[in-house]
A = this chain, B = another copy of it.
Amino acid sequence: ARNDPVTEFFQHSLSNLLSPMILFFALGWIAVLAKARMELPEGMVLAMSYYLMAAIGLKGGIELAHEGWTVTVVLACLAGVLLGILLPIIAFAILRWGGGFSALDAAAIAAHYGSVSAVTFLTAATFLTREGYSYEGYTIAMMALMESPAIAVGLLLARLSDRRATQAEDGPPLREIVREALLNGSVILLVGGLVIGALTGEKAGETVGPFFFTLFQGVLCLFLLNMGIEAARRFADFREVGAFLTGFGLTMPLIGAACGLLSGRLLGFSEGGLLLVAILGASASYIAVPAAMRLALPQANPAYSMTLALGITFPFNVIVGIPLYFWIARLIH
């Protein structure tokens, strides 16, 4: 009783648009458009982001413990790292030679697109849960692995193309840059959660599940409210930056999703897993990478990357991308 694909696409789009999560996201965006004096307290935003990362990490870890370390898991992790290396190179090429951006700006933006946005991932995973699809737990491990390779690639691209990127005497050693990227709270809670989940297994679900799993969707709603606020502010800044970058912010996720879907297909992922790996490719970091790039390539304009990742690509992915990639996932499955 499978519906015809087009109908299905519209059903999924509508179901996504009318989910509490996306509606809260829209609420935040509208609040900014209406020039509302609304700001979630920073402590609350950080607390929610730590909670969400720990929760998704635990979930992934528990499932890893369940599924065991099969060859597929190892291959999937490898695929994640490869995506994280390949995507920034594509992005750099487009920006440098297509858009004529400076090597430093191109490299900084590229690094963001090679990494991932955890909240986009969470929104997609919740979409799957709501629609009744399951997904491979190790996609969460892939996400954790994909946080960082793009940073190294971005830096390498910058140093190969512009001597200024190498010779900044004040510049911090690579060690500090990687520390900045990997050892911020979100990544630590994601990876820590994974390990803790893998160590404790199902049993953890019983004791800490009511906190970390049952409340998850509600917390995600309030977090997306804040994403709506921040994305709308970034989006407003962007209008000054021009059409090429806007186009890039809408096209690059499609390229990333295609690469993600391809690798997922090769690895034999389920429909749900395909969506998630598409999201890993399509989404751009706005937590770990910005700080690392700021330290490593201070001459690059941080407003470009943040506006693109948060103001263009994030809303595109959660509103259009999730149903679109899922539709393709179901077609190619």
The residues of A with any CB-CB pair to B shorter than 8 Å are 18-20, 23-24, 27, 30-31, 34-44, 46-47, 50-51, 54, 58, 126, 130, 179-180, 183-185, 188-189, 192, 195-196, 199-200, 204, 207-212, 214-215, 217-219, 221-222, 225
Contacts and interface: CB of A to CB of B under 8 A. Distances in A.
A293 B304 CA distance: 40
A37 B184 contact: yes
A23 B196 CA distance: 6
Given A30-B192, A208-B221, A210-B218, 11 more contacts: A20-B208, A23-B200, A37-B179, A38-B183, A40-B50, A51-B222, A130-B207, A207-B217, A211-B214, A212-B218, A215-B215
A27 B199 contact: no
Number of this chain's copies in the complex: 3
Nearest to A184: B37
B38 A185 contact: yes
Given A44-B46, A183-B35, A24 B212 contact: no
A197 to B, nearest CB: 9
Most buried by B among A35, A183, A207: A207
A35 B183 CA distance: 8
Contact of A217 (B189, B211, B225): B211
A32 to B, nearest CB: 10
